[in-house]
Amino acid sequence: MKTSRILGTVTPLLLTAGTLAAAEKLYTYAFKRINYIPDASDYMQKYASLYYSHVDWVQARPDLDVWELTTPDNAHISALWIPHPHSKKAVIVGHGYKGTGITMSNYAHMFYNLGFNVLMPDDRGHGDSDGDYISFGWLDRLDYLDWIQHIITKLGDDSEILLFGTSMGGATVSLVAGEPTLPRQVKAIVADCSYTSLDDELSYLIRKLFHLPRNPLVPMASFINYRRLGYPFKVVDVTKALTHNRRPLFVIHGSADDYVPTWMAQKNYAASTGPKDLWIVPGAIHAESYWIDPGRYQQRVSDFITPYFK
């Protein structure tokens, strides 16, 4: 065999092997669980003192409880529960990428002050919940349906439930909103800085962070995810899920968000068919909207959800 023919045969194999290795590295970087909470960015460190005051408030509560469930695929999932006396209202607070329930303490405190019982799950691949990989809301959406049933069992059939989340948590509650079996007790959804789809978000980030094109890394990483978790990236489509949502939806996003770009909020908002509102917070970067003005944030959320709760 001539040398040119040998090179013509071997070179595509080497390129494929190298690309597959790069896709595996990308997948491990983005999806593999870590057993610690990453530090906030230098910019967000200015809110650290206020953030930890909310964490202390949650952890010091004598009525703080741990809820657990075992999923149909035999995963152990954990959540923190803060009961509110004499209230039938409850909120499930979805955390962001590589966070945990406790990292949402500021929102938990806010909703408790608004009269809600609060559930703060650790999603799969995070905190005290099982999972070697992060599912970016897709498997978590089914776990949230189970959490909703737990709340209804706890508070009764006349309970009223709000779904709230930031970043990946916003995507998760939006995916839940598109489920056909969503119980009637769920009255509204608030999604802060959610992405439109897993494919969109990964494609955006590899361009921004690594200056690489979508192809072939994202499709190959999707194939790896299919082999590991049982589904391709294309099914994790938040915008598509919201086309099936009829419940009130409040979309919040920072105008300076360069991690999940603002156009994603606008696309998700447009997709939902029920009552809705969109708040683009001037100057806010990713997940900063609350911290810029906590009082205004609480008021805007309260103004939107109050008509849908008794």
The span from the CA of 100 to the CA of 239, in Å, is 24
Confidence of residue 16 (pLDDT cuts 50, 70, 90): low
Give kind and range of the element (H or E) at residue 250: strand 249-254
155-172 pLDDT, tens digit per residue, is 999 999 999 999 999 999
Burial of 175: CB neighbours in 10 Å, binned 0-12, 13-18, 19+ = buried
The pLDDT > 90 percentage for the chain reads 90
pLDDT > 50? residue 11: no
Residue 129's pLDDT is 98
272-286 pLDDT, tens digit per residue, is 999 999 999 999 999
Contact 159, 89 (CB under 8 A): yes
Domain ranges of the chain: 47-196+236-308, 198-235
The span from the CA of 93 to the CA of 165, in Å, is 5
pLDDT > 50? residue 12: no
The span from the CA of 165 to the CA of 236, in Å, is 16
With a CB cutoff of 8 Å and minimum separation 6, the contacts of 239 are: 196, 197, 267, 268, 271
Map tokens 């408790």 to a residue: 112
The span from the CA of 235 to the CA of 83, in Å, is 35
Residue 17's pLDDT is 67
pLDDT > 50? residue 252: yes
For residue 304, what are its two tokens? 């939107």
Other beta carbons within 10 angstroms of residue 93's beta carbon come to 29
The span from the CA of 156 to the CA of 237, in Å, is 32
163-219 pLDDT, tens digit per residue, is 999 999 999 999 999 999 999 999 999 999 999 999 999 999 999 999 999 999 999
For residue 184, what are its two tokens? 């009637």
With a CB cutoff of 8 Å and minimum separation 6, the contacts of 144 are: 92, 94, 121, 163, 172, 173, 176
Confidence of residue 5 (pLDDT cuts 50, 70, 90): low
| Mean pLDDT to the nearest integer, 100-120 | 98
The backbone region for 296, taken as left when phi is positive above 0, alpha when psi lies in -120 to 50, beta otherwise, is alpha
Confidence of residue 20 (pLDDT cuts 50, 70, 90): confident
pLDDT > 60? residue 8: no
Contact 281, 289 (CB under 8 A): yes
pLDDT > 80? residue 300: yes
Between these two residues, 20 and 170, which has the higher pLDDT value?
A: 170
Residue 19's pLDDT is 81
Residue 2's pLDDT is 52
For residue 228, what are its two tokens? 């590991």
63-78 pLDDT, tens digit per residue, is 999 999 999 999 999 9
Contact 116, 60 (CB under 8 A): no
Beta-strand relationship, 76-82 and 117-122: antiparallel
The span from the CA of 241 to the CA of 292, in Å, is 30
The span from the CA of 288 to the CA of 257, in Å, is 9
Residue 73's pLDDT is 94
Contact 250, 182 (CB under 8 A): no
Query: What CATH fold (topology level) applies to the domain 47-196+236-308?
Result: Rossmann fold (3.40.50)
